[in-house]
């Protein structure tokens, strides 16, 4: 039984490292985002956003959560204001 617990703990640790390592929310990826990039180019770098709100030709999208995120304002599907928090 003790060996099973150790195996489960090791498996959970490995899984956690893999999840963190697979995240596209990194400072390196944020640094790749440039003003003027289009929405599709941004998606190649950091994936699909978690949330977008659109109105009057603008779109505000967020990748991540309140503590750790990349937020980008698009106008006519082009980056005009990228910001990040907690990376």
Q: Where are the domains of the chain?
A: 25-85
- Which pTM value belongs to this model? 0.73
Q: How far apart are CA 82 and CA 56, in angstroms?
A: 19
**H runs (alpha helix) in the chain:** 2-22, 27-32, 39-46
- Using an 8 Å Cβ cutoff, are 59 and 74 in contact? yes
- Higher confidence at residue 7 or residue 79? 79
Chain segment 16-74, per-residue pLDDT in tens: 444 444 589 999 999 999 999 999 999 999 999 999 999 998 999 999 999 999 999 99
12 Cβ partners below 8 Å, 6+ apart? Answer: none
* SS3 state of residue 35: coil
- Give the CATH fold of the 25-85 domain: Beta-lactamase Inhibitory Protein; Chain:B, domain 1 (3.30.1450)
pLDDT of residue 34: 97
pLDDT of residue 17: 44
């Amino acid at each position: 039984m003790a060996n099973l617990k150790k195996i489960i703990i090791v498996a959970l640790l490995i899984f956690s490292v893999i999840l963190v390592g697979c995240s596209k929310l990194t400072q390196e990826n944020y640094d790749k985002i440039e003003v003027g990039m289009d929405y599709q180019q941004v998606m190649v770098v950091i994936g699909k956003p978690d949330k977008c709100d659109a109105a009057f030709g603008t779109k505000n999208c967020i990748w991540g959560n309140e503590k750790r995120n990349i937020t980008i304002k698009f106008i006519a599907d082009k980056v005009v204001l990228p910001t990040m928090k907690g990376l």
